[in-house]
Amino acid sequence: MHLLECHKALADETRLRLFHLLAHHELNVGEILDIVQMGQSRVSRHLKILADAGLVNARRHGAWVFYALAPEGEAAPFVRAMLPLLGSLPTAAADLDAARLVVEERARQTRHFFDALAPRLDIMQQEMLGGAEVAGLVLEALPGAPACAVVADLGCGAGALLPGLLARAGRVIGVDSSARMLTQATRLLQREGLPASRVSLRLGDLEHLPLSDGEAHCAVLSLVLHHLPSPRRGLAEAWRVLAPGGACLVLDFARHEHEAMRRKYGDRWLGFEPDELATWCTEAGFVIESTDAHPLPHGLGVLRVIARKQLTT
């Protein structure tokens, strides 16, 4: 019966388009509307049919609902069988081109937001965290040199973690998509008298990191995943740039309903569930060593996940 439901769900040109689109991107309803250029009621009806058949997942984060292909579940074998056929759809190439433009515009808006924010990032973070100090949660969990000879601070922002990381590692690579953030990080190094020769600041996208395979021994993603279009891809890239045996530390908000954080702080995701982060780390190839939670003011909390890239055999 379930196979019949899957076939019925895809027996429509619009639903095939949506199925193909969501095989490549996790998108909210507004982004889908921009891509397919259809009315909301029509698109929502088709998305519900796909979700009811188990072909796509719907995740509500505050006022936004995100849709993505369902990688697991009863319909998974059917999904895998259909994927190679979707590229032959007449609209396939145009839809992916439109999706690329939407994703690029989203990234441009995020860079613009953080470029504008760079001079007052410290004030914003204090406001957001209610004065709580979270850097210690990162630094206490990282091994020192030589185990962490090279640390990659992924989404380093204005460089708040750089002094602490330099105290524990031989060399630090800081990556951020905002050029103005990296300018602020450079000024921090100069102001603190830190050895610039041990720091490499690189402009880049966390889903396409400007690091070679296995270049780092430790990776830190501190309060950055909730800004990424695809946290899964960010974690997969972190795995790629780590040497075998390397440690990855993820610190991010626990799931919450503070919708205003999207407007004030450029958040895309309203935090995460512990099992979400653990699943994504495992999918990326990591082995989870520990997961814990820490409360913050304003009813927020942070999750800390320590994972490791296994040694090759």
Is residue 280 scored above 80 in pLDDT? yes
DSSP 11: S
Is residue 176 scored above 90 in pLDDT? yes
Q: Domains in the chain and their CATH numbers?
A: 2-90 (1.10.10.10), 120-309 (3.40.50.150)
Convert the pLDDT of each residue in 84-126 to its tens digit.
888 888 888 999 999 999 888 888 888 777 777 666 666 666 6
Convert the pLDDT of each residue in 205-242 to its tens digit.
999 999 999 999 999 999 999 999 899 999 999 999 99
- What is the rounded distance in angstroms from the CA atom of residue 95 to the CA atom of residue 22? 11
Is residue 253 scored above 90 in pLDDT? yes
Structure confidence at residue 235 (pLDDT): 97
DSSP 245: E
- Interaxial angle between packed helices 29-36 and 40-52, expressed in degrees from 0 to 180 and rounded to the nearest 10: 110
Backbone Cα Rg of the chain: 21
Q: Rounded to an integer, what is the distance from CA 1 to the centroid of its chain?
A: 36
CB 301, CB 253: distance < 8 Å: yes
- Mean pLDDT within 125-148: 76
Structure confidence at residue 118 (pLDDT): 64
Pairing relation of β-strands 171-176 and 150-154? parallel
CB 46, CB 14: distance < 8 Å: yes
Q: Rounded to an integer, what is the distance from CA 178 to the centroid of its chain?
A: 16
- What is the rounded distance in angstroms from the CA atom of residue 251 to the CA atom of residue 245? 20
Convert the pLDDT of each residue in 258-270 to its tens digit.
898 888 888 899 9
Q: Rounded to an integer, what is the distance from CA 256 to the centroid of its chain?
A: 17
- What is the rounded distance in angstroms from the CA atom of residue 161 to the CA atom of residue 219? 12
Structure confidence at residue 313 (pLDDT): 47
Q: How far is CA 217 from CA 28, 160, 204, 238, in A?
A: 35, 20, 19, 11
Is residue 49 scored above 70 in pLDDT? yes
Is residue 172 scored above 50 in pLDDT? yes
Look at the alpha carbons of 134, 181, 150, 228 in this order and tell me if their dihedral is positive or negative: positive
Residue 311: which of 211, 243, 221, 214 has the closest Cα?
243
With tokens 């524990």, the residue in question is 168
- What is the rounded distance in angstroms from the CA atom of residue 83 to the CA atom of residue 78? 9
Convert the pLDDT of each residue in 3-24 to its tens digit.
788 888 888 899 999 999 998 8
- What is the rounded distance in angstroms from the CA atom of residue 165 to the CA atom of residue 158? 14
Residues linked to residue 205 through DSSP beta bridges, in sequence order = 208
- What is the rounded distance in angstroms from the CA atom of residue 178 to the CA atom of residue 156? 10
Q: What pTM value is reported for the model?
A: 0.82
User: Please, what is the Cα angle at 208 between 96 and 20, to 5 degrees?
Assistant: 20
